[in-house]
Amino acid sequence: MSHSSTQLPQLLETADPMRLAILNARREGRSIGLVPTMGALHEGHLSLVQASVSKCDLTVVTIFVNPTQFGPGEDFGKYPRDLEADLAALATVSRDVLVFAPSVELMYPAGYDTRVVVGAVARPLEGRCRPGHFEGVATIVLKLFQLVPADVAFFGQKDYQQLLVIRRMVSDLNIPIRVEMCPTVRDADGLALSSRNRYLSPPQRQQALSLSRSLQLAAELVAGGQRDPQVVLRRMRELIQQAGDVRIDYVALADPDTLQPVSSMDRPVLALLAVRVGPARLIDNGMIQPP
Ligand code: AMP
């Protein structure tokens, strides 16, 4: 059997072969891991795939740029799509993963008219800035959970609120899938990896470092004894604004379970932010543990 380095993972584009592969794996008693993505894969995505490969017998990676989670004027049209490059990137982790890359027509055929309604945890932060976003996310993730009924689904901390929305849905709708959170993968200089980083010019990429640096600053302030969230937020905003031509959508210190703003910092608090840098809207977050 040849194992040339050009051998790529198997690609499935329709529902029936996907279901059959899951049925066969189940019959053989194999555990199944699912990694939902929108493609344009980077090391962050690959870390989720690696986690699944190490914990599950079969890993399915889905690649689907989901139109219903983009608002009007957002980057759905120009979102990077390169299936060949994605398959090659996945092959560096494992050639045994299955890739499910359905078309928009398959996922949303004519007449499609049902959506998942999401609750309180979807309302602040991203939910406020991107109306309808989490409804679109929850709907596509539920559909993927139906088409690929895995044992475990892997999501990144990078999209922390998304993870909470999905955990809520899984619990509320009795979906028999365990949701696992994987840590955010960053470049050496701290920038969280994102498919949208490729929109950045070199100077904008420098400005984008203000996101991770402000998270770092918040952690340092709290480690140094600062417990007033308003002070921490002000210092974070100042640091970001000093980066130059950027626009803050939000900077927040929130309860890690509810995402409601905190009034003190005596317990672990999640710092979250969304900042527009040139054409890219970037998000990041980090847990802050008081000493
Ligand atoms: P996306 O393709 O942006 O929808 O992301 C697919 C999955 O990869 C989501 O669970 C993200 O949270 C996760 N992800 C994206 N960027 C990173 C990163 N830098 N580190 C870890 N996970 C990530």
Per residue of the chain (291 residues), what is the pLDDT tens digit? 444 456 999 999 999 999 999 999 999 999 999 999 999 999 999 999 999 999 999 999 999 999 999 999 999 999 999 999 999 999 999 999 999 999 999 999 999 999 999 999 999 999 999 999 999 999 999 999 999 999 999 999 999 999 999 999 999 999 999 999 999 999 999 999 999 999 999 999 999 999 999 999 999 999 999 999 999 999 999 999 999 999 999 999 999 999 999 999 999 999 999 999 999 999 999 999 998
pLDDT for residue 3: 43
Burial (Cβ within 10 Å: 0-12, 13-18, ≥19) of residue 208:
buried
Residue extents of the structural domains in the chain: 10-182, 195-285
141 within ligand 1 shell (Cβ under 6 A):
no
Identify which of 35, 37, 134, 161 to mutate to test ligand 1's pocket (most ligand atoms within 8 A of the CB): 37
- How many angstroms separate the alpha carbon of residue 44 from the centre of ligand 1? 6
Strand ranges for 31-124 from DSSP E: 32-37, 58-63, 98-100
Task: State whether CATH 2.40.50.100 applies to domain 10-182.
Answer: no
**Domains 10-182 and 195-285 are alike in CATH topology:** no
pLDDT for residue 2: 41
Cα distances from 31 to residues 82, 134, 172, in angstroms, run: 29, 28, 23
CATH class for the region spanning 195-285? alpha beta
Q: Which of the following is catalytic: 3, 42, 45, 133?
A: 45
| Ligand 1, atom 12, residue with closest C-alpha | 156
- Identify whether 3 is a catalytic site residue: no
Q: Which residues contact 231 (CB under 8 A, 6 or more apart)?
A: 221
